[in-house]
Structure 1
Amino acid sequence: MRRLMINADDFALTDGVCQGILQAMERGVVRATTAMTRPEGATGRITAHAAALSGRMGIHFQLTGGHPPCLPPEEVPSLVTAQGVFPRKRMDIGQVSADEIRREWRAQLDLLRSCGVSPSHMDTHHHVHKRPDVFPIYLETARELGIPARATNPAMAAALRAAGVPCADAFITGFFGEDLTTGRFLELVAAAFALLPGSAVVELMCHPGKNDAELSRISAYNQAREQEIAVLSSPEVRIGLGAMGVAVCGPEDIPRP
C-alpha cells in the first residue's frame, strides 16, 4: 500500500489557523501538523491542544516570520534584524552563526516540550533548512531527536537517511496558492507516486486555516487557507486517494533507514 502523510504547517500561528488545522484533521485527510513557538500567543495554543494531538504534532523550527527569537536577541545577533526579530522571508537571511541556530532551535524545542509536546517529527518555516549553512544544523538536530524530518528534494533525503534520519520518499509542495481544487490535489499526488515503488511514503505540505483578523494582518496567505480546508475535507479527495491505492498515514509510518 502506498502511503501519504499530509502535514499541516504553521500550527499556533493564530487561533484561526489552529481551528482550520483541527477541522482538516477531524473531518479530512490531514494526519499531522507542525507547530511554531514564536508567534504571539503560540504557547497557549499549543498547550491547549497538546494532549489531543499527542503523536501527531511536530516542531516547525523558525528562523523567519518576523517574530522574536526564543533567546534574547543580543544572544543570537546573526539571526535577527535591527529590530530584534527574525527576517520575514528566507531570502532576507544574511550570514548566520551555526552555534546561534543550534542554541535558538534548542530553546524552541525546550519551549515546545514545556507546553506538553514531545515532537513526533520536524520541519522548518519557509524551508530555511534548504540553505547550505542551515542544513547541517537541521540534520544534526534530527539525528539527535531521532524523529522523521522533512526532506525537500532527493539529495536532502539521501543525506538524512545516510545519517539514520527517517524521511519520506518524496515531498509535494504544489498544494499552495490559487489553484486549490480536488482535481489539482489528486494530480499532485498521482504525479508524486508515479515513479515510486508500491511501498513508497510521500509527504504533502498544506496550510489550512480559518482567516481570522490576526492572520489577515500578518500573512498574505490567508483566504486561500479556507479553500484548503474545503479540499482536504472533501469526499472526492478520500475517494480519489482510495482509487489510487493510497492510504493516509501519520509520522509514525515514515520508514526508518
Structure 2
Amino acid sequence: MNEAALRRIWLCADDYGLADGVNRAIRDLIARGRLNATSVMVVGSAIGRAEVAALQETAAASPRCAIGLHVTLTAPFRPLSMYFRPLDGGLFLPFPKLLRAGLLRRLDPGLIEDEVSAQLGAFRELFGRAPDFVDGHQHAQLFPQARDGFLRAVKAAAPEAWVRQGGRRTPLGKRLGAPKALVLDMLSAQFRKRAAVAGIPFNPAFAGAYDFSKQPDFGVLMAEFLDGLPHDGLVMCHPGFVDETLRNLDPFTNQREAEHAYLASDLFPTLLAANKVTLS
C-alpha cells in the first residue's frame, strides 16, 4: 500500500507507572508494534528506575514510540509540590470535585503550574530528557483554571512538547449521543485557544473516551474511533493486566485486559489496514 495514502495516527496507552500489570501490558504492545505512544504517571506507585529502563529499552527496539508525561492532579494520588491546594486528606481532589472547583474559579493556576512543573522535573530526572508530549490523567489538563497553569508549565519546561486536547471531528448528531465525549469537546475548545495563543502544538483530533463500566466490545469501539480521525489524530487507550495494586487504585480494571487482548490480536492490524491507518 502506498505510504502516502495512509493516515498516521497516535495510539497512546495512558497510565504507565500506575501498576506493574499496566506497565507490563503497555511494554508488550509496544514490542509488538501495536502502540506508538505511552504517557507516564510520575506519581504512580509502579514507577522507578527499573520500570523506566524497561520502557526505554522496549521503545528503543520498536518503531518510533513517543513517551510523554501523564500529568496527574486527581485522587487517589498525592502532589509532588509542597504547598498544593486544595487537598482532600492529603490527596488531590477526586476529579468531579476538581472540575467543580475549576468551574467555580476556586483553583489557583499558580499552584497548578507549580505541581505540573514538579511532575515535569520528575520526568526529566527519570528519563534524562523532557517528555515528547504532555497529557492529563482523567483529562484534568482541560479543566478551567487548571489548563492555564498546565500550559504555562509545559511552555517553560518542555517547549518542544505537544499537548493533548480532547476535541473530536465528528458530526453534531454523533457527539450528542456520547455525553462524556461532548463534555471533552466543550472543555477542549478553550484549551485549544489557550494553547494556540501560547504557541504550543496539540493533536488535531481525539478519540478513545467511552463508558468502560458497560464493558463494550473494544474492537467495535476502535472502529468507531478510527472513523474520520485525521492524520496525526490521537486515540487514547488503557491496556493493562489486573493486579492488586490496580484494584486498589483505579475502578478501570477488567476492561483494561479486554483492550490489551484486542490490540495484541490479529484483528487490530487488519482493522488498521482496512481503514488505511498506520502507526509508523
TM-score bucket (shorter structure) = 0.7 to 0.9
Please report how far the alpha carbon of residue 41 of structure 1 lies from its aligned counterpart in structure 2 after TM superposition: 4.0
Closer/same/farther in 2, CA of residues 241 and 21 from structure 1, 3 Å limit = same
Question: What do the CA deviations read for 1:106-157 (whole angstroms, capped 9, x no partner)?
Answer: 1111111111242111101111122111111222233331211101126233
Query: Does 1 or 2 have the higher relative contact order (CA < 8 Å, sep 6+)?
Result: 1
Amino acid at match of 2:246: L
Q: Say whether residues 1:66 and 2:54 are aligned partners.
A: no
How is 1:1-257 mapped onto 2 (pairs within 5 angstroms)? 1-44=6-49, 46-49=51-54, 51-52=56-57, 53=59, 56-72=66-82, 75-76=83-84, 78-81=85-88, 83-87=89-93, 89-93=94-98, 94=101, 95-118=106-129, 119-144=131-156, 145=158, 146-153=160-167, 155=189, 156-174=191-209, 177=212, 178-190=215-227, 192-193=228-229, 196=230, 200-249=231-280
Percent pairwise identity: 25
Q: CA RMSD in A?
A: 2.0
More helix per residue = 2
User: Is the 2:71–2:141 contact (alpha carbons within 8 Å) kept by the matching residues of 1?
Assistant: no
Amino acid at match of 1:79: P
Closer/same/farther in 2, CA of residues 130 and 214 from structure 1, 3 Å limit = same
Closer/same/farther in 2, CA of residues 79 and 49 from structure 1, 3 Å limit = farther
Closer/same/farther in 2, CA of residues 50 and 116 from structure 1, 3 Å limit = farther
Q: Equivalent residue for 1:254?
A: none
Structure 2's unaligned 5+ residue stretches are: 1-5, 168-187
**More off after superposition, 175-184 vs 227-236:** 175-184
Counterpart secondary structure, 1:225? helix
How many residues align? The count is 238
* C-alpha distance in structure 2 between counterparts of 1:229 and 1:70, whole Å: 30
TM-score norm. by structure 1 comes to 0.84
User: Is the 1:122–1:149 contact (alpha carbons within 8 Å) kept by the matching residues of 2?
Assistant: yes
Closer/same/farther in 2, CA of residues 158 and 65 from structure 1, 3 Å limit = same
Closer/same/farther in 2, CA of residues 28 and 159 from structure 1, 3 Å limit = same
Please report how far the alpha carbon of residue 65 of structure 1 lies from its aligned counterpart in structure 2 after TM superposition: 2.7
* C-alpha distance in structure 1 between counterparts of 2:128 and 2:75, whole Å: 22
Counterpart secondary structure, 1:51? helix
User: Is the 2:39–2:68 contact (alpha carbons within 8 Å) kept by the matching residues of 1?
Assistant: yes
Amino acid at match of 1:185: M
Question: What do the CA deviations read for 1:188-247 (whole angstroms, capped 9, x no partner)?
Answer: 211x33xx5xxx221000000110111112211111101100111222221121122111
